[in-house]
Amino acid sequence: MSINHIETEDLRRMEEKDGLILQGCGGELQEWLDGINEMFTENGILKNGAKFQDISAFEYDGLTCLLYPFEGVDLEIGKLAVWRLQTHDTFGGTWLSDFVPNRLGGFIGEPAPEPEKPDCALIGQDGNIFNLVGIAARTLREHGLTDQAKEMKDRVFASGSYGEALCIIGEYVNITDTEPERKPSLRQQLKETKTAEPSARLKPEKQQER
């Protein structure tokens, strides 16, 4: 296992890749690599004995951030999407594919227009899926994306799980909240942070027949 130190400009050259970015990672970086592997294994996010072997550290806006690349890692992406939403206040989790266009001006070799996906503050909202999709649809309509709002709702209500529904919403809006604070140590946070099932923390309801 290794930790590579990179610059934000290196992230802009990763247009063909994706991964999870955690922001405000204080303390020993090896502790973050080992701790996330342990946490994700316990919560069924990492499958079939998979582990993150190589991660990258970089500085952004005065914070130490870590990139956990998805390449070559067996992940349950729906569970990861739920975890990211539930723990955003603690870990500041975001996708590489969202971070680069919205924070760094886009990938190198691509034009840098305004972000395609509007920001939508879903973190901290009532986690009922009907509530979340309603807020996201309203945001899209406010940005003149009425067709995308309808398409997103149709896809969400046809999805097979809560995690899949969150992933679909994330394709249309950039899920946001307040800026993460610098955290001193992962181990200290793990003592207080446990990933609950969606029914315990987000409480989605069954989809009604439409």
Residues 6+ apart with CB under 8 A from 168: 152, 155, 156, 159
DSSP 3-state of 170? helix
Q: Please choose, from the candidates 53, 11, 55, the residue with its C-alpha nearest in 3D space to the C-alpha of residue 29.
A: 55
CA 110/CA 66 separation, integer angstroms: 24
CA 112/CA 97 separation, integer angstroms: 14
Four-CA torsion 55, 96, 165, 186, nearest 10 degrees:
40
**Which pLDDT band, with edges at 50, 70 and 90, does 196 fall under?**
very low
Both tokens of 68, joined, read 């956990």
Look at the pTM and tell me if it is higher than 0.75: no
pLDDT digits (tens, 9 = 90+) for 66-89: 999 999 999 999 999 999 999 998
Least confident of 55-64, 185-194, 195-204: 195-204
pLDDT digits (tens, 9 = 90+) for 100-152: 999 998 988 655 555 578 999 888 888 899 999 999 999 999 999 999 999 99
